[in-house]
Amino acid sequence: MASQQLQLGVIGLGTMGANLARNAARNKTTVALFNRTTEKTDEFMVAHGSEGKFIPCHSLKDFAKALKKPRPILLMVKAGDAVDIVIQELLPLLEEGDILIDGGNSHFRDTQRREKELAERGIALIGLGVSGGEEGALHGPSMMPGGGASAYKKIEPLLKKMAADDGMEGKCVTHLGPGCAGHFVKMVHNGIEYGLMQLIAECYDLMKNVGHSSNDDLVKIFSEWNAGELQSFLVEITAQIFQKKDPETGDFLIDLIGDVAEQKGTGKWATEAAMDLGVAIPTITAAVDARILSADPLQRKQLSVENPESLPEPYPEQKSIAELCRSALLLSWLAVYGQGFQMLMAASKEYQWNLSLAEITRIWGGGCIIRSSLLAKFRDMFATPQSQREGLKTQILDLARGERQVDWRRLIAIATGSGIPVPALSASLAYADTIRRKRLPQNLIQAQRDCFGAHGYGRTDREGSFHTNWNHQDADGG
């Protein structure tokens, strides 16, 4: 395909599909378009038809004819049954060698199933994670493809043109591995995204309701953070959000937005997959729980009290709440990134994907939602040979030592004393404390399990599995 005119078929002209189609066309690609609602195709052509070479199609038959074999077809439809329906409608029109690219947030197990089914027909499936939102889709997203290597090679020239720059003279796209590896990596990316966003929200809550920061104050705080160690896409847009005013009322828009956070499922899937792999991702799980708890405002209203049982003046501090939040946010972000990487390493081993964390962190360096200067530290470490990593690893760990860690603990104590929930900040600290604790109290849990279920336990002083009759009368010889 590299020596031929680039081509791409796009099915689904929602915001992401439309912007990816425009992105491809701007990169000198002939783009065939189809949307189930034909009016949307017509509207797209009126708005963007002059941006490149588009072939609007009102039927799948015409759509298939508009592309030369082998056909690369990007599916941008809602994850779930809709993807299966479109594939089934397309199948009679496809031929051996055609390539379907699922660019939605499909569950990785669905992608695994579809790839096997399509392979029996000689059709390749690339599960393509895409991050960057609507602006990223148009100007350059981070792309996470998984599937057959030969099929990926055929579409690589186009994806490299469409992807964001990685800041190191490369592009934010790479073949991650076979099967559903791409959609799994995107799921983990989204889980990390959930965690980072919840951590920011908790700091906002504390700065507003304990530190009494105004929206103007928050603009300044987040802008300063974005100029330092917390430089990131999410901190940058958060500063922008606090500036925005409602054109009708003149009030700050943030204060008029409802507090029910929606979700599309990828965070929940990450938590489920982590449990299947035996990996703890408590910050991400706490973020998912926080969205679930937010979904019932009526119950919260009924249970709310004017003056919650909290300390009247909790833990007076010399440092401002904003200063404490900066430390806590930085260390919590390190924790949530670490949880995501542990999950990726476990999945790579379990599914034999041979994932490269160096490549994953590189393609997350531009275009995607979780890009940050902290992530770049992990990228540099993973890109360094194993024998030379200790120095860089120490630099990352040094961020979590000293006064910052004290600030982290103080902030959570203040939040607890003020009756303000900080589930993700608390989970991050508990995670950090747990993985650094020499001895945990799970020895008692093992004793309890053996006491009521004869499950056995290990000992610290000898090898093997042991069982005890815990009845105190027997133990006393009674």
Residues serving a catalytic function are 186, 193
- 263: which 2 tokens? 């979700």
Q: How far is 115 from 84, CA to CA, in rounded Å?
A: 11
41-48 long-range contacts, CB within 8 A, separation 24+: 41/13, 44/13, 44/18, 48/18, 48/22
Joined tokens for residue 435? 């993985």
